[in-house]
Structure 1
Amino acid sequence: MKTFDALNWVKTSVLSQRSRNFLTVLGFAIGVSAVTLLAAMGDSLKQFVLNEFTQFGSNIIGITPGKTDTMGVTGILRTNRGISLEDAQSLATLPEVEGVVPVVAGTAEIKYRNLTRATELVGVSHYAAQAWKMTVAQGQFLPADDLMHPRAFVVLGSKLHRELFGTAPALGEPLRIAGSRFTVVGVFAPKGQFLGMDLDEMAYIPAARGLSMFNRESLMEVDLLYSPGLNSDWVAEQARQHLLRRHGVEDFTIVTQDQMLDTLDGILNVVRFAGIAIGSISLLVGSVGIYSILTISLWQRRNEVGLLRALGMQQNLLVRLFLGEAVFIAVLGGAAGLVILTVVQMVLSLVLPQLPPLLTLSSAGLGLGVSVVIGILAGARPAIQASRLPPIEALRAE
């Protein structure tokens, strides 16, 4: 039998039973779209999270006060010392460290002339713009002052600048922040949001000024900027040994970006595989549908099978024809599932435009590949049964 004739036979057999095959195709469509969507969503979320964190630089190590035994779970403080500005200054002397960003944050009231606004205030060092990959649109970032005794300068986020100054220039203008006088030295270019925080509505001042303003003795975090060619775990160990010599006890937690991404990747993989397992239930239902349809079809078409066998059709060709029906039904379901996925992606692109695309060549190939495999497995037994029917008995069947 020619290939064209075989394809036409398969198409005619499937389309002649549209109503019966519809539910099977629908089950496959739901299953394939669920499996493909959840698998692709895991990859997209992973890329999204990676982009969120690496937009602040990929060669950063974070040090926070308090020792945690498991990442993300608050541990027991062994000392109340915390991490001081002096600790941050001493970490800058390590040869592996290119820059140190002490971080302290809080809410403060900013006043310019008759305009007043409560906003997030972040105390940092002059390395913050370089470490966090933030671009200054006007002026400059905080100058390289003495970390312990910096001048009262402030850099504004783009939205905060627009709300306070509109289109007027801000450089050199005085502001009152929590009652203290600061001078605007720069304005950041738009940066967007990070984990729900609008970075463009923040103001950035020297860390020492922030500690004084918020009446704090210790920092919330210290970020170390190291050379890209170095191993993050090795740099983290050097910083750990340095702080151990200063504190005498490990009352701090060091987290590299690699560790954070590995943890998030593990969580996303669990969600991904759980979703795939749920979607596989629909595929199982679809495979049962294919098996049932082909079995019933075999019983109803015994005359046809007997005639084909009597005319000399080989068993392996008959197996391939029945498997072709199963694969055709499965591919129809898989294609319908990809159409559903395309609609879902269009909706998600409106809600989360920054989310990477879900429907890619790999995810589409995965969906159709799963469909074909399930179709072959579900149709194998009915196909073999059809090929083994004795021609005489099949022709006598009513």
Structure 2
Amino acid sequence: MRSLDALGLWLGALRGHGSRSAMLLLAIGIGVLAVILLTGLGEGARSYVLSEFALLGRNTLIILPGRNETSGGMPPITGMAPRDLTVQDAQAIGRLPHVWRVAPLQVGQAQVSVDNRSREALIVGSTREFFAIRQLEVAHGQPLPALDPGQADAVCVIGTRLRRELFGARPALGEWLRAGDRRFRVIGILAERGESLGMDFAELLIIPVASAQALFDREGLLRVFVEVRGPAFLAISRQQILATLKARHEGKEDVTLISQDSMLVAFNDILATLTLAVSGIAAISLLVAGILIMNVTWISVSQRTAEIGLLKAIGATAGQVRLLFLGEALLLALVGALGGLLLGEGALWLGREALHVGFYAPWWARLSGLALALFCALLFAWLPASRAAAMAPVVALRPAGGAR
């Protein structure tokens, strides 16, 4: 049997059972789609996390109030604690030998208004060092002045979207706005940045930390950013910071100190779990498709016994008959897998365009999706195909219910 003859028989069998072929294509396509789509989402989440923490910097430590006793898990974000972090704690940390910059952080929501325009805004109280640590650029004006952390001042820096909503087309620099029950003069407008670590900088209002404490009537800090002089000083700085705060907090180690690496470890654990889930979903989907292929191939063999007998009567070998049914299953698996691959890549492209996140399926996911689909087709179609190959021509050509 020539290759072209075998291909003609495969295509003819698939066209003759269109609904059955479409069902198999759909099952295989869904399995491969699961592999491509979910691994692409996982890789997109991973690249997003890496890019977010790259902006934070490898030399940066974050101090949160409250002690996290677990190891390797996600560090606390809000940090409920019996003792607050204070501006004085931040100043003590800033005096350590290997610390370069310290930025205390106070955050809250308040109504912000200019004339008859008003909206709720996220207000961040910090210092000038916050701009350097978070790599914030000011498009117009200047950042917060270099004040003592305990000194309040009626100045602010605002995000671009907040500026448009409050001031419209008129200039904002030098103008006054009201936040809560206090007034602040706009001295700077942030450059476009987008969201980072849960903050949308386009809608942010940044004021001195002492002004934020007075505005919210709250002394405790949400967290403290600490930038050390280099990666080599991270370990010793961590020890010195914990020792300093322990001495200031009556001998209690009641803070959590996290770094970019510890956050990445926590997120890697989450992404590893996601990868396992992806593998499980893909395996189940393709397993179901394989069982469906086996059932359909059994039916095909039982319906085509006369064709099998005729092929064997004119000289077709057992291997060629087996190849006839295996080839149909592999052809269906290949077309279905390619369709699932294209659908998955299309869905990831839509995700990239809509969310501006790098959703890309890794090369190994594409290859493994195709290979797994072909393997399942070959594995589950082998037994029915072998049964067809083992049929004797006389038995295969005997009419159903004919004379014995």
Q: TM-score range, shorter-chain basis?
A: 0.7 to 0.9
Rounded Cα–Cα distance in structure 2 between residues aligned with 1:233 and 1:385: 67
What secondary structure sits across from 1:225 in the alignment? strand
The answer on 1:292 being equivalent to 2:295 is yes
Match of 1:274 in 2: 277
Superposition map of 1:111-130 within 5 A: 112=114, 117-130=119-132
Match of 1:257 in 2: 260
What secondary structure sits across from 1:146 in the alignment? coil
CA shift for structure 1 position 268? 4.0
- Which segment is superposed worse, 32-41 or 172-181? 172-181
Q: Which amino acid aligns with 2:262?
A: Q
Conserved? CA contact 1:101–1:222, under 8 Å: yes
Aligned-residue Cα RMSD (Å) equals 3.3
Question: Kindly tell me: are residues 223 and 295 of structure 1, through their superposed partners in 2, closer, same or farther at Cα, counting changes over 3 Å?
Answer: same
CA shift for structure 1 position 67? 1.3
**How many equivalent residue pairs?**
395
Match of 2:157 in 1: 155
Rounded Cα–Cα distance in structure 1 between residues aligned with 2:137 and 2:247: 36
Match of 2:335 in 1: 332
What secondary structure sits across from 1:368 in the alignment? helix
- Picking from 369, 372, 378, the partner of 2:374 is 372
- Picking from 87, 92, 95, the partner of 1:93 is 95
What secondary structure sits across from 1:327 in the alignment? helix
Match of 1:84 in 2: 86
Conserved? CA contact 2:140–2:189, under 8 Å: yes
Question: Kindly tell me: are residues 389 and 135 of structure 1, through their superposed partners in 2, closer, same or farther at Cα, counting changes over 3 Å?
Answer: same
Conserved? CA contact 2:43–2:361, under 8 Å: no
Match of 2:31 in 1: 31
Rounded Cα–Cα distance in structure 2 between residues aligned with 1:204 and 1:277: 46
Rounded Cα–Cα distance in structure 2 between residues aligned with 1:9 and 1:226: 71
Match of 2:186 in 1: 184
The answer on 1:103 being equivalent to 2:113 is no
Match of 2:204 in 1: 202
Conserved? CA contact 2:66–2:254, under 8 Å: yes
Conserved? CA contact 1:331–1:371, under 8 Å: yes
Q: Which amino acid aligns with 1:381?
A: L
Q: Which amino acid aligns with 1:328?
A: L
Conserved? CA contact 2:39–2:361, under 8 Å: no
Superposition map of 1:285-324 within 5 A: 285-309=288-312, 313-324=316-327
Match of 2:225 in 1: 223
Q: CA deviation digits over 1:70-91, x for unaligned, max 9?
A: 44568874x53x2111221222
What secondary structure sits across from 1:222 in the alignment? strand
- Which segment is superposed worse, 335-344 or 200-209? 335-344
CA shift for structure 1 position 215? 2.4
What secondary structure sits across from 2:185 in the alignment? strand
CA shift for structure 1 position 233? 5.9
- Which segment is superposed worse, 148-157 or 339-348? 339-348
The answer on 1:242 being equivalent to 2:213 is no
Rounded Cα–Cα distance in structure 1 between residues aligned with 2:238 and 2:384: 61
Q: CA deviation digits over 1:247-306, x for unaligned, max 9?
A: 321111112233223323333443453354345433223211211222232233344444
Rounded Cα–Cα distance in structure 2 between residues aligned with 1:193 and 1:186: 19
Question: Kindly tell me: are residues 195 and 87 of structure 1, through their superposed partners in 2, closer, same or farther at Cα, counting changes over 3 Å?
Answer: closer
Conserved? CA contact 1:39–1:273, under 8 Å: no
CA shift for structure 1 position 189? 1.2
Conserved? CA contact 1:69–1:75, under 8 Å: no
Q: CA deviation digits over 1:85-132, x for unaligned, max 9?
A: 122122223344332111001234445566555432211121212221
Rounded Cα–Cα distance in structure 2 between residues aligned with 1:26 and 1:176: 59
The answer on 1:60 being equivalent to 2:63 is no
Conserved? CA contact 2:37–2:345, under 8 Å: no
- Which segment is superposed worse, 341-350 or 28-37? 341-350
Q: CA deviation digits over 1:135-172, x for unaligned, max 9?
A: 21002212333333364432111122223333333333
Identity, % of aligned pairs? 35
What secondary structure sits across from 2:36 in the alignment? helix
CA shift for structure 1 position 227? 4.9
Rounded Cα–Cα distance in structure 2 between residues aligned with 1:96 and 1:10: 73
Rounded Cα–Cα distance in structure 2 between residues aligned with 1:311 and 1:154: 91
Rounded Cα–Cα distance in structure 2 between residues aligned with 1:76 and 1:189: 33
Question: Kindly tell me: are residues 163 and 20 of structure 1, through their superposed partners in 2, closer, same or farther at Cα, counting changes over 3 Å?
Answer: closer
Q: Which runs of 5+ in 1 are unaligned?
A: none
TM, length-normalised to structure 2? 0.83
- Which segment is superposed worse, 140-149 or 334-343? 334-343
TM, length-normalised to structure 1? 0.84
Conserved? CA contact 1:125–1:206, under 8 Å: yes
Question: Kindly tell me: are residues 236 and 327 of structure 1, through their superposed partners in 2, closer, same or farther at Cα, counting changes over 3 Å?
Answer: farther
Q: Which amino acid aligns with 2:11?
A: K
Q: Which runs of 5+ in 2 are unaligned?
A: none
Q: Which amino acid aligns with 2:302?
A: W
